[in-house]
Structure 1
Amino acid sequence: MRKIAPGWLWLDNYDYSDRGRIWVIWNPVYTHIILESMSAQFIHTTVQIKASNLTFAFTIVYGLHTQSDKRGLWNDLRSIHIQQQEQWLDMGDYNAIRAVEDRVNGGTPTKSELRDLNEFLEDTKMTTLRASGREYTWTNGHTYNTIDWGLVNARWMMAMALHELFIMDPRCFDHSPMSLYLAQDEDTSLRPFKFLNHVAGHEKFPKTIEEMWSKMRGRCRMADIWRNLKHVKKAMKHLNATEFGGVEKRINSC
């Protein structure tokens, strides 16, 4: 590490796994990371981005290969979810697929293979980040699987700027690296959204809502719903500002 990234800091889980399956590496000039907990299958941290004062929970996952070996991982992630009070990004190699379409040229997935990840998402109401780039995240040259995921909780979807997970070229590896760009130029603080009744009575209101909601695409996943709610929220604020802004001055000038 001193040769590859001098001055950087890192965490690993060699104390829980002889192979040290997970490394977390960061530049302390820009980022501060606090270790919260770890096991053979995950490292759970709190990340602070210094430039923007952005703080969120970040769990890095390396799921073992069998369902029985991963049982402890799902239990641990559920426990973290119960205690989680802030934005949470849960990302890595889960060795789990969500749907039949997530595997090509391999054996047909069984119901039990699809169960654990989908039940976790249902129980916690977390959602998968929209991904672009390569369609599958792992291959042995014959079989193609999507087994690497970026999961986020509701607080993340409501508070964070619009973002997208990018699946990169694996080059000589069997897994494709995942890259997530965090926009730094938007306010990420949690503030309550106030629905103003007078906006709903404006003639432009129905068309504005229809235009924003029509941005939905794909399979109507929960991520699409959250994304469209953010579009609607922004559009309603704009409508209120343009049509009702400075109303007191307008009245006084009449």
Structure 2
Amino acid sequence: MINLCTWNVRGLNDPAKVTEVKNLINTHNIKVIALFETRIKPQNCSKYVKKFGRHWQWEMNYSCCDWGRIWLGWKPSFVTVSVCSVSTQVIHCEITEHVTGNPFFYSVVYGLHSVDTRKLLWSDLGNIADSVNNHTWLISGDFNTMLNLTDRINGSAVTLHEILDFSDFVTAYGLTVLNSIGHYFCWHKGGVSNSTASRIDWCLGNSNWTMTKTDVVTEYLNPSTSDHSPILLSCIENVVGGGRPFKFFYFLADHHSFMSIIENCWSAEVKGTLMFSVWSRLKMIKDKLKNLHNEEFKGIHEKIDLARNDLHDIQTQLQFDYSDASLLLQESDKVAVLKKWLNINESALRKKSRI
């Protein structure tokens, strides 16, 4: 499956957040992703886009608001995305699968923070619903509002006034909340003693979606270094690809040992066909560069993986008991540890590179 994902990252200007978004993309084979509240200034946008690589294409809503509240990214080699409309709270597009050629409409939402400012959101989505008509339509993102009176714990009680507009919109257009697994309360704030958790991130489908995608389930993943859970959705067929390409960290090219490694491996005597000799030398280079990388950054990746796994375990336990003060305290500590190692690694990469 090719996966879609929406995530309120709470700031891409933190190098640790960039690393975690890239890890999310790679771990779950995501080909379409919407990021909210990036906090990236327009003049810095291109610099941060480059961090995700040249295989991604992006649409943002800077034309409607500052700070890039919504970023929509996709890999054109897997899907074709035609952006239909961009507003303060919604980017609406049509996605066509390369494998099947079947299109569907997709709206990514980042709702504003009050009932009154979200009224324009329901109007925009209503207009989109009218234009979509009976075609397949998926809506996902951070709506910043609950849908049910039970969608908040440890905070003030949810009122009918808070949920009425959202509930009316869902009913009026025959939308369905997609079945989900993972975290129910997908956003949290506060410390150990006054923590509040809510379900304000949603994934909805119209009747055509629910009829044609009956087996699709959304997964609310662990929030990692954000305070929101990413919403992961698998809905498009994928094609099995070939082997992994030969890659190395570009900063190694500046290392004083790099050229001698290349020259020694390439001048080594290898018996066999021309293609076998090329393959053998590349394999030797790969092994040598891996050793060089391990010498320069011994243990950092292991520490990152360990910290990430520790945080994952704690956040998984919080799915079942978000009121556990001990777990909340452990989560805070694990987030701090993961950020520390991610920032150390990012600093080392910047130091070693001149690109």
1:173 aligns with 2:222: no
Moved over 3 A (4+): none
TM-score (norm 2): 0.51
- Matches of 1:130 and 1:160 in 2, distance apart? 11
The two structures, once aligned, show a CA RMSD in angstroms of 1.2
Match of 2:175 in 1: 126
1:137 aligns with 2:181: no
The alpha-carbon distance between structure 1 residues 14 and 123, as it changes in their structure 2 partners (threshold 3 A), is same
Instruction: List per-residue Cα deviations over 1:220-254 (Å, max 9, x = no partner).
Output: xxxxxxxxxxxxxxxxxxxxxxxxxxxxxxxxxxx
Counterpart amino acid of 1:124?
Y
- Matches of 2:53 and 2:150 in 1, distance apart? 39
Displacement of 1:137 in angstroms is: 1.0
With a CA cutoff of 8 Å and minimum separation of 6, indicate the structure with the bigger relative contact order. 2
Counterpart amino acid of 2:72?
V
- Matches of 2:101 and 2:121 in 1, distance apart? 30
8 Å CA contact 2:188–2:227 kept in 1: the answer is: yes
Match of 1:28 in 2: 76
TM-score (norm 1): 0.71
Match of 2:113 in 1: 65
- Matches of 1:31 and 1:183 in 2, distance apart? 10
Instruction: List per-residue Cα deviations over 1:107-127 (Å, max 9, x = no partner).
Output: 001110120111111111111
- Matches of 1:109 and 1:160 in 2, distance apart? 32
Displacement of 1:75 in angstroms is: 0.6
8 Å CA contact 2:152–2:196 kept in 1: the answer is: yes
- Matches of 1:9 and 1:67 in 2, distance apart? 33
Higher helix share: 2
| Unaligned residue ranges in structure 1 (runs of 5+) | 186-254
Counterpart amino acid of 2:165?
D
- Which of 6, 10, 13 pairs up with 2:61? 13
How many residues in Structure 1 have an aligned counterpart in Structure 2? 185
Instruction: List per-residue Cα deviations over 1:105-161 (Å, max 9, x = no partner).
Output: 110011101201111111111111011101211001400000000011001111225
Q: After alignment, is 155-164 or 73-82 more displaced?
A: 155-164
8 Å CA contact 2:175–2:207 kept in 1: the answer is: yes
Q: Equivalent residue of 1:32, what SS?
A: strand
8 Å CA contact 2:149–2:160 kept in 1: the answer is: no
8 Å CA contact 1:162–1:183 kept in 2: the answer is: no
Q: Equivalent residue of 1:125, what SS?
A: coil
Displacement of 1:63 in angstroms is: 0.1
Match of 1:162 in 2: 215
- Matches of 1:68 and 1:161 in 2, distance apart? 35
Q: After alignment, is 71-80 or 152-161 more displaced?
A: 152-161
Displacement of 1:184 in angstroms is: 2.5
Match of 1:108 in 2: 157
Q: Percent identity?
A: 32
| Unaligned residue ranges in structure 2 (runs of 5+) | 1-48, 239-355
